């Protein structure tokens, strides 16, 4: 059984060569222009809807809630398709993360623990 890789933006089946589906690539939903985002950030606008920010961060409350909901749905779809929650690769033994991401998560967890011990 082959697992279906999902688009990181909309969770539709992914293009063979990338991280996003053809619609997201073609529709320019994903913009990786650093200058554009830097300018938006300096103006104090939401990265998504371009309205003034009503909270700390890069998204307004409304867009943040919508993003959180989409993230939960994407995680659910990835879990159903037995894909890693982080990198979209197949997982083993019903785990949430693939072996590579599990190692990275453990390293982060241990490095944060060591940092807390040193600073306390």
Helix and strand tally (H, E) in the chain? 4, 0
Give residue 30's pLDDT: 47
Q: Which of 99, 1, 18 is nearest to 9 (CA)?
A: 18
Residue 107 lies in a domain: yes
Give residue 13's pLDDT: 79
Residue 17 lies in a domain: no
What percent of the chain shows pLDDT beyond 70? 78
Residue 32 lies in a domain: yes
Using pLDDT thresholds of 50, 70 and 90, give the confidence band for residue 63.
Answer: very high
List, as one string, the DSSP characters of 17-66: TSSS-HHHHHTT-S---HHHHHHHHHHTB-TTT-PBPSSSSSS-HHHHHH
- Whether residue 27 is predicted with pLDDT greater than 90 in this model: the reply is no
Q: Domain count for the chain, please give it.
A: 1
Residue 113 lies in a domain: yes
Residue 16 has a CB neighbour count (10 Å cut-off) of 7
Residue 1 lies in a domain: no
What are the pLDDT digits (tens) for 5-21? 777 777 777 777 677 77
pTM: 0.54
Residue 10 lies in a domain: no
Domain residues for the domain of 66 are 22-119
- Whether residue 22 is predicted with pLDDT greater than 50 in this model: the reply is yes
């Amino acid at each position: 059984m082959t697992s279906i890789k999902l688009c990181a933006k909309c969770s539709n089946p992914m293009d063979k060569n990338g991280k996003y589906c053809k619609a997201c690539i073609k529709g320019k939903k994903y913009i990786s222009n650093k200058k554009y985002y830097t300018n938006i950030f300096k103006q104090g606008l939401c990265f998504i809807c371009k309205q003034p920010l009503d909270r700390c961060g890069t998204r307004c409350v409304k867009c943040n809630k919508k993003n959180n909901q989409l993230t939960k749905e994407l995680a659910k779809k990835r879990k159903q398709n037995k894909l890693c929650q982080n990198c979209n690769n197949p997982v083993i033994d019903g785990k949430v993360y693939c072996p590579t991401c599990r190692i990275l998560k453990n390293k982060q967890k241990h490095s944060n623990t060591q940092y807390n011990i040193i600073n306390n």
